[in-house]
Structure 1
Amino acid sequence: MSRSALPQNAHLNADDLQRLCEYLYRQTGMLFGETKRYYIERRLADRMEATGTPSFGLYFGVLRADPEERQRLINAFTVNETYFYREEHQLACLSRSLLPDLITTRSPGDKIRIWSAPCSTGEEAYSIAIWLLEHWRMVDAYNVEIVGSDIDTRALEAAHQGLYGERALSRLPADVVEAYFESAHRHRRQIISDLRESVTFTQANLVDAPSLAGQGMFDVIFCRNVLIYFDDESRLVAAGNLYDRLTPGGYLCLGHTESMSRISDRFLVRRFEDAIVYQRPADAA
């Protein structure tokens, strides 16, 4: 679809574009602007059509008055590009370095909490579960709790269903696919019910501290490839919120293009054989 093919009422003047971008920024921490104009207008057009609003001004009024429409707009602007075993070296680091370090101060049967935020449509959270079953021999000795969180409610619904196509599964060994996925219709597979029931999915916003506080504390957090969409201020807010959710001595894994050293000096940089990760100091208050 070309820009000219968009409905005329979805074309934004400079002031309205800034108004909408500022609104999205306040809600999500994600930074949009003129360079994303077509992306913004295309999604706006879909929401205006769905709500039957003939102008941006009227739609913005609906948006501010209706929390459900606000969530639908946020869903429309989130990016859910992922697949199983993405950045596999970090999963190897989890089983070979991070968890062995953490259990030196734990007893068998203790809880270990791992958080995937954002989790998109569930591939990362389920990848963690599968990887530990396949590669961490102590997995049954501890009470491992895996939580996946995202701001996008549609993505969370898909995560609960656990249905995936060939592209999402393409990095998994064939024997892993056979062991943990059941055949479903239209060339898709569904993750087995035991795994679907073992992973908890919740809604959370990385720049909203109250929404994160309800998630509790975690020993390991995977927060990969989302901070690249934030500006410096939002990154700092998100970093502080993630720090507050980590137990002292807990670990944070970012995407390979992201560096916490450029955002916050509160974390220790830890270089392991498989990956560089960030740690909340064990003596942190």
Structure 2
Amino acid sequence: MTSESRFLTGPELVRLCDFLYRRTGMLFGESKRYYVDRRVAERVQATGALTFSAYFPRLLADHAESELLINSFTVNETYFYREEHQLRCLSQSLLPEIIKSKRPGDRIRIWSVPCSTGEEPYSIAIWLLENWRLVDAYHVEIVGSDIDTEALRRAQAGAFDQRSLSRLSDRLRDSYFQQADARQWHIIDDLRQSVKFSSVNLIDRSSVAAEGQFDVIFCRNVLIYFDDAARSLAAGHLHDAMLPGGYVCLGHTESMGRISVRFKTAQFEDAVVYQRSSDQ
């Protein structure tokens, strides 16, 4: 993009990126100018503002508009049974450890954050129904959270295309989904209603704290978009959102060891995860 075609001036880009960082922890800058310019230009045009300088005060004052802008910057690349080895680890290793301190009928809380359009938390639900024989012996609560309110709306609707379902066998697809048309499948109501969804900002302590504490947290492929300070902040919030002895699963390129000393590395047959000490 040439300087003549840039939508934001240099100072405007700095102001906008600072706004996004303070609100989300996501780090943007000159190296991602095209990505930023295009999304901001779309929102400015949608509001009828003529310039960024006219749009920015509205962005600061209007929660709905800031929500729409943030939604446009989130990355929602996902599909069912993504990183399946962590699901195997959940049923074969993590849950057997967790129930050592629980009794049948006790609650087990699992959190998918960010959950994007819902494939991950629904995958957890399907996997446990298919692969954990004790799933009915405990009260399993699955929560999916994201900062992107449009992604959450789609997750709650439970409609998915063939690409999202491509990793599932025909049997699983036919068991847990109903075909709406040639391109779209709806998750069955019983499964859709078994997952709760909420809006959460990982760098906002009160937002995270409102969800309570969890036995297992899936927080995959989001910390890579943060700088060191935001990663440390988010890691602290995740730590506080875990029950003592709980586990967090990160993306395959992420390591909590490089972010926070408050977790210990736990090596299992199927995955490396990170644990909150039981005495913390």
Q: Return the TM-score normalized by structure 1.
A: 0.96
1:280 counterpart residue number: 276
Q: Kindly, what percent of the aligned residue pairs are identical? A: 62
1:19-44 deviation digits (Å, cap 9, x = unpaired): 10000000000000001101101001
1:243 counterpart residue number: 239
1:179 counterpart residue number: 175
Question: Shift in Å at residue 65 of structure 1?
Answer: 1.1
Task: State the distance in 2 between where 1:60 and 1:186 align.
Answer: 42
- Name the stretch that deviates more: 129-138 or 181-190: 181-190
RMSD: 1.3
Counterpart residue identity of residue 39, structure 2: R
1:137 paired with 2:133, answer yes
1:253 counterpart residue number: 249
Q: Secondary structure at the match of 1:149?
A: strand
Question: Shift in Å at residue 186 of structure 1?
Answer: 4.2
Give the one of 51, 54, 65 matched to 1:55. 51
- Name the stretch that deviates more: 242-251 or 10-19: 10-19
1:216 counterpart residue number: 212
1:71 paired with 2:84, answer no
Task: State the distance in 1 between where 2:57 and 2:210 align.
Answer: 30
Q: Secondary structure at the match of 1:167?
A: coil
1:193-219 deviation digits (Å, cap 9, x = unpaired): 001100000000000000111101100
Give the one of 245, 266, 270 matched to 1:270. 266
Structure 2 gaps, min length 5: none
Counterpart residue identity of residue 264, structure 2: L
Counterpart residue identity of residue 15, structure 2: R
Task: State the distance in 1 between where 2:209 and 2:34 align.
Answer: 36
1:231-253 deviation digits (Å, cap 9, x = unpaired): 00000000000000000000000
Q: Secondary structure at the match of 1:240?
A: helix
Counterpart residue identity of residue 265, structure 2: V
1:34 paired with 2:38, answer no
- Name the stretch that deviates more: 185-194 or 78-87: 185-194
1:154 paired with 2:141, answer no
Give the one of 115, 121, 131 matched to 1:119. 115
Q: Secondary structure at the match of 1:168?
A: coil
1:235-280 deviation digits (Å, cap 9, x = unpaired): 0000000000000000000000000000001101000000000000
Task: State the distance in 2 between where 1:243 and 1:211 align.
Answer: 14
Question: Shift in Å at residue 185 of structure 1?
Answer: 2.4
Counterpart residue identity of residue 246, structure 1: M
Task: State the distance in 2 between where 1:65 and 1:268 align.
Answer: 42
Task: State the distance in 1 between where 2:71 and 2:271 align.
Answer: 31
Which stretches of structure 1, 4 residues or more, deviate above 3 A after TM superposition?
none
1:191 counterpart residue number: 187
Structure 1 gaps, min length 5: none
Q: Return the TM-score normalized by structure 2.
A: 0.98
Q: How many residues align?
A: 280
1:103 paired with 2:99, answer yes
Question: Shift in Å at residue 14 of structure 1?
Answer: 1.0
1:14 paired with 2:17, answer no
Task: State the distance in 2 between where 1:186 and 1:44 align.
Answer: 34
